[in-house]
Structure 1
Amino acid sequence: MVYVSNGSRITSTPFHFIPTRIVTSVALVASSAILERKKLKSTSKYIYQTLFLNGENSDIRICALGQEWNLHKVYLCQSGYFSSMFSGSWKESNMMVIQLEIPDQNIDTEALQVVFGSLYRDDVLIKPSRVVSILAAACMIQLDGLIQQCGETMKENISVKTVCGFYAAANMYGLDSVTKKCLEWLLNNLMTHQNVDLMKELGVEIIEQLIQSSDLFVMQVEMDVYTALKKWMFLQLNPSWDGPIKQLLVDADTWLCKRRNELREEEPFLCTEQGLPFTPVFRHIRLQYIINDLASARILERDNIIPPDWLSRIYKQQWFAMLRTEHDNDNGPQEANKEEFEQNSMRCGRKLNKDGDYCWRWTGFNYGFDLLVTYTNRFIVFKRNTLSQPCGGAVSLQPRRHLAFRLRLASFDGCGKLTCSRSTGYQLLTLEKDQVCLKQSPPAR
């Protein structure tokens, strides 16, 4: 049987019963279409070679960046820039030679060659290494189709080497879809595939956007966000540092220690002149999920990066949260408040290098909630550990505890490009003592 695209079923006819004349007719039509495509292709190639490259029958000369192009007004009018120039009352409308001012440093003669040539042909090959210059030139002369093609090229070629340049160009030339795609790539890769060169390139503004997002892939817990920022800040202040990623944290800690000892500074680093520019970024760390671990709290005190008043507010906030849990029987969120979730959720994750069984625990949040998480056979199992297994801290004995969560699974290729992403969306879960809850792997999106 043969099935057409809309899903309805038709019965095929055996091939030897099809009349010969129909087959011949189809073949002739197909041959005619092929000849027509070849002819159009030859015509396009002829126009590009004769009119653009050779400049035959040119009626206008464009001069820019020390180079000249013998072109044709009828082709240039495909551009909004030249169309307005030739149809209005501009002095250039009757000129045979136009000196083109190039105010954008991203534009070079090679980019202008591609952009002018695109007016004479249907297909333009845009190399990823040249896309920013071509985009700049296309925006200057207002070629919407070429601008869109540049945007698609950028989105298909985002990598650790291109993401910062593409992000800056997309912001400059108003390609919102490219900006969004670059941010998505960084949210997925900043923590999962840390890279020294990338950290050097990322400025305060873009890092601030990433750190405040609940979509940031965090490995393993919030303390790792603080650690990543410490390394990033060190590289911003020491851009000549050159070494392996494994050595970066050691050298960052050594630099901080040396600075404190030599300058004998008791003032927190973010309060100093050198540290002040980094304050907006560090404000977005969710400190409430760092101070719940003794070792992490001690590192914060040792580094002396965070101002004490920031920590005092968090300690007070967490103390009252604990009192509400113990004395007011606060069992956790009663509804999935998306805004609150976005700002205050605990960000944690695990990297699964291959298919198999995995188990880990997230503790210390919501006071006394010891959550065991198991991934097996494409199922996620949540278990509220109360009495069945040892726990290093206090465990709540309240009959029920509520948990708001969003679970996301994602896979990446070797360049960090997202190949598959699944999400449960925002959900509420109620667990009794030692209760197990089975969640199937979220659906693909």
Structure 2
Amino acid sequence: MGALSSRMWSRRNPEEDEPVREEAAVEAEEAAGPSVVQEEQASEQPGVSTGQGSTGQGGHKRKGSPGGPLAKVPRRTPHKSLFLSSENSDIKIFAFQKEWYLHKSYLCCSGYFASMFCGAWRESDMDTIEMQMPDENIDLEAFHDVLGFLYSRRIVISPPRVIAILATASMLQLDELIEQCEDMMRDSVTSETVCNYYYSAESYGLQSIRFVCCQWLLDNLMTRQNDELLLEINVDLMKELIASSDLLVVGVEMDVYTTLKKWMYLQLEVPTCSGSERALLPEELSFAKFRSESDNRPFLETDRGRAFVSVFQRLRLPYIICDLPSACTIDQDGLIPATWLTPVYKEQWLALLRAEQSKELGPVDIYVSDIHGNSMRCGGQLSTDEQCSWTWSGFNFGWDLVVCYTNRRIIFHRSAMNKSGGLGVSLLWQRKVAFRLRVISLDSTGKSVLRRETDYTVLSLRKDQQLEVVNLGNEEITFPIYVACNFLYLPGESGAGPSWESSRRPMN
């Protein structure tokens, strides 16, 4: 960025001078006295904690001036050339070892300066204000640009600079500029910016941006993985993502476990290495080394592993241990304690017996407590607009379900002849399942360009019966598209899961 002397602020740029008649208008306005407007009252968003301050439309905190939320602050005619000169200056701001010769009437467009100059503060009678920045995100360039915004009402915001501008605007209580930062962040969420935007949205109370970033991560965590993105996701954020039933799972729950294992490995190894990729141990050797250093205890019970316990507890283990290869992998990895797994194995065995030997057909009512955190998450990718079908083989709790894509329609089909599951399928004439289906298409930046979602519905199918779940005939579809399903299928035992593996075959 380079050092900037205070003389830079006093230079005039002829191209930026206002017309003579505008300067005359400004002088006339000054002679008549500053115009005033009432500061908008903040309106709280329902369900958003705002602390002591209230929250504006974008979710950021507002701080009232000493006169209360309706205190009057001046709003001046845009005049950038006046900012670049020291003409008629009545206040000097000193920060970052630099000086700005400015005008209180323009600075008071900021709630921060309006409180300082118009209230019962000692700074109200001072002609030099020395400022200490409370936020490390604020830098000299951002502070200068935002001061210029108070004069010109214009500012250039780029993705690399938006957090610094946002931090400065938040300190100076400039709601209009904060909203501009929100717009920029909303339009520029990518794998490179999403985590930084998410953490900043949390810091500055931008609930809408927090939601946008969280949704992007739920859609892309398993569809466009890269080491850099996984490294930026901290424990609290990963815990929120893994716990969500909206996580777009490409494959099955075992794939979520594999993603978590990679994430934990990167969190442990990369920050401690010298920066050279050659210094990294292979993933399996790394965990074996950790276990050997801890007397072969399950890794999540070791000192280093305990930091990740809250994340792995969000895994839906019933949908992992029913598949033999997955159960063997879990056992061989030695990450998850046996005290977690033993109760799940018991529950799964009892659930299988209930499904095969009881007369209960399946769920009758759907409760929110069942839906959140208990549903089976699975999904797949359709690369082209071609007819195909796939099964989640071994859907043993009363289902022999085939999912078909044909003519832009997604159809559930019960086929009692499908006996490819490891434990076979139930031949009971009718069973019920609660399901939700989502169809999502993402552009090159990971932003959703198509999202269709059904409500949770209780489905009852008999032998060879079909149900059209989604019709995309009127939609503009960009392939690939992702088809994601959530299932609940046992009354009172929604946490139990089936043994299955994903497979696809051409449509006959």
Q: TM-score, normalised by structure 1?
A: 0.85
C-alpha distance 332-254 of structure 1, shift in aligned 2 (>3 A)? farther
1:152 aligns with 2:183: yes
The whole-number CA distance in structure 1 between the counterparts of 2:475 and 2:125 is 59
* Superposition deviation, residue 313 in structure 1: 1.1
Q: Does 1:300 pair with 2:325?
A: no
Matched-pair contact (CA < 8 Å) for 1:212–1:285: yes
1:414 corresponds in structure 2 to: 444
Q: Per-residue CA shift, 1:382-438, capped at 9, x if unaligned?
A: 122322564443211111111111111111111111112111121121111232222
Q: 2:236 corresponds to which residue?
A: 205
Kindly indicate whether the alpha-carbon contact (under 8 Å) linking 1:421 and 1:444 is maintained by their aligned counterparts in 2. Answer: no
Per-residue deviation at 1:326? 2.3
Report the Cα offset of residue 243 of structure 1: 6.3
Aligned counterpart for 1:130 among listed residues 161, 172, 183: 161
Deviation, 1:258, is 4.2
Query: Alpha-carbon deviations, 1:43-102, whole Å to 9, x = none?
Result: 99x954421112322111111111111111111111111111111121111111111121
- Name the Cα RMSD after superposition: 2.4
Instruction: Give the residue type in structure 1 aligned to 2:253.
Output: E
CA distance in 2, matches of 1:84, 1:313: 60
Deviation at 1:305, TM superposition (A): 0.7
Report the Cα offset of residue 439 of structure 1.
Answer: 2.4
1:252 maps onto 2:283 in alignment:
yes
CA distance in 2, matches of 1:444, 1:209: 31
User: Is the 8 Å Cα contact of residues 399 and 433 (structure 1) preserved in structure 2?
Assistant: yes
- Secondary structure, counterpart of 2:152 in structure 1: coil
Give CA deviations for 1:305-344 in whole Å, capped at 9, x if unaligned. 1111111111111122122212322322112323312221
The match for 1:216 among 247, 253, 262 is 247
Residue 187 of structure 1 is matched in structure 2 by 218
Pair 1:341 & 2:371 matched: yes
C-alpha contact (below 8 Å) 1:423/1:444 kept by paired residues: no
Q: Decide whether aligned partners of structure 1 residues 76 and 364 sit closer, same or farther in structure 2, where only a CA change above 3 A counts.
A: same
Corresponding residue for 1:309?
339
1:99 aligns with 2:130: yes
Please tell me whether the aligned partners of residues 422 and 444 of structure 1 are also in contact (alpha carbons under 8 angstroms): no
Q: Tell whether 2:402 aligns with 1:402.
A: no
Q: Does the 8 A contact of 2:110 with 2:173 survive in 1?
A: yes
Give the equivalent residue in structure 2 for 1:167: 198
Residue identity opposite 2:442 in structure 1: F
| Alpha-carbon spacing, 1:172–1:90, altered in 2? closer, same or farther (3 Å) | same
- Tell me if the contact between 2:413 and 2:466 (Cα under 8 Å) persists in the aligned partners: yes
Shift of 1:242: 6.8
The CA distance in 1 between the partners of 2:248 and 2:277, in whole Å, is: 25
Paired residue type of 1:362: W
Identity rate of aligned residues, in percent?
Answer: 46
- Find the aligned partners of 1:264 and 1:71 in 2 and give their Cα distance: 63
- Structure 1 pair 352–242 and aligned structure 2 pair: CA distance change class (3 A): farther
Q: State the partner residue of 2:353.
A: 323
* Higher share of residues assigned helix: 1
Instruction: Write the deviation string for residues 341-387 of structure 1: whole angstroms up to 9, x where unpaired.
Output: 22211111111222222321113446242321111111111122322
CA contact (8 A) 1:59 1:71 kept: yes
Give the 5 Å matches for 1:115-126: 115-126=146-157
Match of 2:110 in 1: 79
Match in the other structure for 1:112: 143
Give the drift of 1:199: 0.5
Select which of 277, 285, 292 maps to 2:307. Answer: 277
3-state SS of paired residue (2:94): strand
- The residue aligned with 2:504 is none
CA distance 1:370–1:205, change in 2 (3 Å):
same
Task: State how far apart, in whole Å, the 2-side matches of 1:49 and 1:78 are.
Answer: 14
The whole-number CA distance in structure 1 between the counterparts of 2:310 and 2:92 is 51
Are positions 1:384 and 2:414 aligned together? yes
Question: Scaled by the length of structure 2, what TM-score is found?
Answer: 0.74
Aligned residues: 400
The answer for unaligned runs of 5 or more in structure 1 is 1-38
Say yes or no: does 1:53 pair with 2:84.
Answer: yes
Residue 439, structure 1, aligned to residue 439, structure 2: no
Residue 355 (structure 1) aligned to one of 382, 385, 390 = 385
The alpha carbon displacement at 1:267 in A equals 1.4
**Separation (CA, whole Å) in 2 of partners of 1:388 and 1:60:** 81
